[in-house]
Structure 1
Amino acid sequence: MRRSSRWMEALALLVAGLLLSLVLDDAGAATPEFPPEFRIGYQKFGTLILLKARGDLEQRLTPQGVRVVWAEFPYGPPMLEALNAGRLDFATTGETPPVFAQAVPGSPLVYVGHEPPSPESEAVIVPAHSPIRTLSDLKGKKIAVAKGSNAHYLLVAALQKAGLSLQDVQPVYLAPADARAAFERGAVDAWSIWDFYRAAAELRLQARTLTDGRGLVANFENYTSRRPFAERYPALVKLVLEEIARVDAWAAQHPETAAALLSKQVGVDADILLPALKRRSYGAGPVSAEFLANQQKVADTLAAIGLIPQPVRVAEATLARIP
């Protein structure tokens, strides 16, 4: 009986020791440094799809026991809906979708990085022989745009420059592929859109640029995550931003090679992708004060015209909790 009691005491001490070793590591943390799965949302253009094609991220994360899962979306808003719902861990969009996403009560979205501004990468375009020559000529016209996208904000800014508003035109809210079809058959008078769709319309449909984003918008491409995920796995967020920066540097130096690689991924001719790649800026980095100020400007504009249901304080979607 005594021997059994001693055995039970020894077993209890062993179990307690094992539990303690699980709870306390050298840093005093209970959470593993990397998750078993990393879910990334991407679109048919930009650095993330190049990162996916090259396999660089998998090379670094597979030894850490992380499975990378890629999910393609047609544009930003549905991607960030998935992020808000916990179906993604990391996403990339233009400057406007995160503002819409943050306006959803309880949104876990946080900014973790961004690219430099690329205002030339989006434009309001019209058919080659359209009588529309100035922004003022858009009054009363049908304009295709993806609702909640960065091109939506571009359209707002372009109209404001001409002394117009969304109420003075007929927005036709369409996803990019549907908007392209409507534009080609003449069902809309203009299209507010980003690259590579812009480049495709210019090269294949001889579309004419009414205005691009220069002087109107910054057009930051940004990287977002969910606060619980980013706070739990900061090493992973840092690692993926490092890999994005490396691919950025490579694409900036080798645009023709990048266009050829991207062409295989998206099924779009390289001659369309090349001008789109040359129009964008490269150099992913951490969240900056300039970026946050721009995002706040976007948020204030959208709130003022009623496109988001309530004002958004962008600083609340940062890991640093900037005051």
Structure 2
Amino acid sequence: MKRIVAMLAALTTVLAGCSLDSATPSADEVTVVIGYQSKTINTVTAGALLRAKGFLEKRLDDIAKRTNVKYTVQWQDYDTGAPITAQMLAEKIDIGSMGDYPLLINGSKTQAGERAKTELVSVTGYNAKGALNMVVVDPTSPAKTLTDLRGQKVSASVGSAGHGTLVRALTKAGIDPKTGVEVLNQQPQVGASALESGQVAALAQFVAWPGLLAFQNKARLLFDGAELGVPTFHGVVVRRDYAAQHPEVLDAFLQAQLDATEFLHDKPLESAQLVAQGSGLPQEVVYLYNGPGGAVSFDATLKPSLIDALKSDVPYLKSIGDFADLDIDKFVVDGPLRKAFADRNQNYDTALADTANPTPITGQDPVCNVPVTDPALAGELWIDGHDTTQPAANPGCLLKAVRDANAKGEKVIAAYVPDTELGTRWFADRSVWVQSPDKSTGAYLPFDTDAGAQRYIATHPGTAVVDYQQALAGAV
């Protein structure tokens, strides 16, 4: 009998050390499950780059040395935010990153359950105008504007940031997004295949899919989300219950995200190469968005302009389904991030107020021999065999730099240039070039869409579209 009592006592002791939380098997062992999207490269500071550099594991190891608690990080990679939300609802993911529209859906769907309920705790990357989402068509498509898609099939991931932008853009163009086009709900890679095979007329997606397909000569940019002028961003959500049980893990995650953000700012080319390795995306495409002057401003702060944009997205949420009302002011929680800034002796409010891209293109233009000072004009040349990229003060200087590199027999990996109208960074050889007789604006001006070029030509007599080779030859 004494032996049985002793065994029961021992079993009670063991059970007492076990948590009911499946992610926390014992008081001395804590697991955090991270849902991320390796190919959604404006989430890299909370995903692909963060994972590649091991910043979170290092932060947790520092805690473990002080507390003797073992921390285990599990990374789960998804194509969109929807499955991350589903796993958070099932309490199988603790921290996840996704776009603004999926964030709304995440907050709405999870709020009914105390253990599943989430809160938005940081931003990964944003674009103040909305250039993170685009619509592309086949390179041979006759479509020049969104109105040319009327009555056509368009692929989009319903509930994604790309789909939200499509709905806004169609509405602005006077097309009913429900009846004016037929939206096929497809994962990005499925939609890309559908576009290539001619099953759909267009693909509406978030980064990096539009740039990837354009780089591969499988698509042409039809609509730049920056035309809407509405900020778009990706952010980080955490299950509130998990954060309450393990505040040290959330703090370590946010600190690690800031580590990754600083690394990206300091070493953008290396960061792009690391993300390319981890995601399978071409490095040229990653650097298009994540390099200096790219479409993504990597800034973790929860800026009021972004939160206001999130509130303005609510009608979209209502338009695609029956979702519970979400109190966004309660959904957004900046306390943990403020603490992370304070622990680094950094001023959160100063960073919050700063809306400039943290990594503009700077330096001395070696071809035009002038300093690079205007972010709205600055381009960048990536030449094979060079340790660093080469800045260009303006589109004309970039064209001359490409021409010089070609004359020397050097391989140009990529040339990047900002759209004249919207400022969106794009591939120079995929841009629509307009020749202008006005030398004060530069003889050749780049646009990322045909529609943008035509808008400019309509208000500037004497201008005309030329091909890339003509622009290269004519640059002076």
TM-score by length of 1: 0.82
| Aligned-residue offset at 1:102 | 2.6
Specify the SS of the correspondent of 1:316.
Answer: helix
1:1-323 to 2 correspondences below 5 Å: 36-44=30-38, 45=41, 46-47=44-45, 48-63=47-62, 64=64, 65-104=70-109, 106-107=112-113, 108-118=117-127, 119-167=130-178, 168-216=180-228, 217-277=230-290, 278-285=294-301, 287-303=302-318, 305-319=319-333
**Greater mean alpha carbon deviation, residues 268-277 or residues 77-86:** 268-277
Give the residue type in structure 1 aligned to 2:112.
G
SS of 1:102 mapped into structure 2? helix
Please tell me whether the aligned partners of residues 138 and 220 of structure 2 are also in contact (alpha carbons under 8 angstroms). Answer: yes
What SS class does the counterpart of residue 113 from structure 1 fall into?
strand
Deviations for 1:255-303, whole angstroms, at most 9, x for unmatched residues? 2211211122122221222213232111112x34333222111123321
How many residues align structurally? 289
* Aligned twin of 2:360: none
Are 2:105 and 2:323, in contact at CA under 8 Å, matched by a contact in 1?
A: no
How far residue 120 of structure 1 moved from its aligned partner, in angstroms, is: 2.0
How far off is 1:93 after superposition?
Answer: 0.3
Moved more, 244-253 or 161-170: 244-253
User: Within 1, Cα distance between the matches of 2:27 and 2:304?
Assistant: 28
Shift of 1:39: 0.8
Q: What is the RMSD computed on CA atoms of the aligned residues?
A: 2.3
Confirm or deny: 8 A CA contact 1:43 1:49 kept in the other structure: yes
Partners of 2:77 and 2:28 in 1: how far apart?
23
Task: Please give the secondary structure, in 1, of the residue aligned with 2:297.
Answer: coil
* Residues 55 and 309 (structure 1), Cα distance of their counterparts in 2 relative to 1, 3 Å cut: closer
The amino acid of 1:140's aligned partner reads G
What is the CA distance between 1:117 and its match in structure 2? 2.3
Change (3 A) 1:112 1:33: farther
Determine the C-alpha separation between the residues in 2 that align with 1:133 and 1:307.
Answer: 31
Segments of 5+ residues of structure 2 without an aligned counterpart are: 1-16, 18-25, 65-69, 336-476
Residues 96 and 237, structure 2, Cα contact 8 Å, conserved in 1: yes
Aligned to 1:154, the other structure's residue is in SS state helix
Residue aligned with 2:192, SS:
helix
How far apart are 1:206 and its partner, in Å? 4.7
Q: Distance in 2 between matches of 1:292 and 1:214?
A: 18
Higher helix fraction: Structure 1 or Structure 2? 1
Runs of 4+ in 1 over 6 A off after TM superposition: 32-35
Which sections of structure 1, spanning at least 5 residues, go unmatched? Answer: 1-21, 23-31
The match for 1:7 is none
- Check 1:308–1:165 CA distance in 2 against 1; reply closer, same or farther (3 A cut): farther
Give the Cα–Cα distance (whole angstroms) in 1 for the partners of residues 132 and 120 of structure 2: 21
Relative distance call for 1:238 and 1:178 in structure 2 (3 A) is same
The DSSP-based 3-state class of the residue aligned with 1:103 is helix
Determine the C-alpha separation between the residues in 1 that align with 2:174 and 2:28.
51
Check conservation: 1:249, 1:283, Cα contact below 8 A: no
Say whether the 8 Å CA contact 1:300–1:311 is kept in structure 2: no
1:15-62, Cα deviation, whole Å (9 max, x unpaired): xxxxxxx9xxxxxxxxx9997111111111322210101111111112
Contact 1:94 1:150 in 2 (8 A): yes
CA contact under 8 A between 1:84 and 1:109: conserved in structure 2?
no
Aligned-pair identity (%)? 24
Q: Matches of 1:128 and 1:55 in 2, distance apart?
A: 40
**Is residue 109–residue 225 contact of structure 1 (8 Å, CA) maintained in 2?**
yes
Report the counterpart of residue 367 of structure 2 in structure 1. Answer: none
Q: Secondary structure at the match of 1:120?
A: coil
Which position in structure 2 is the counterpart of 1:12? none
Amino acid at match of 1:299: V
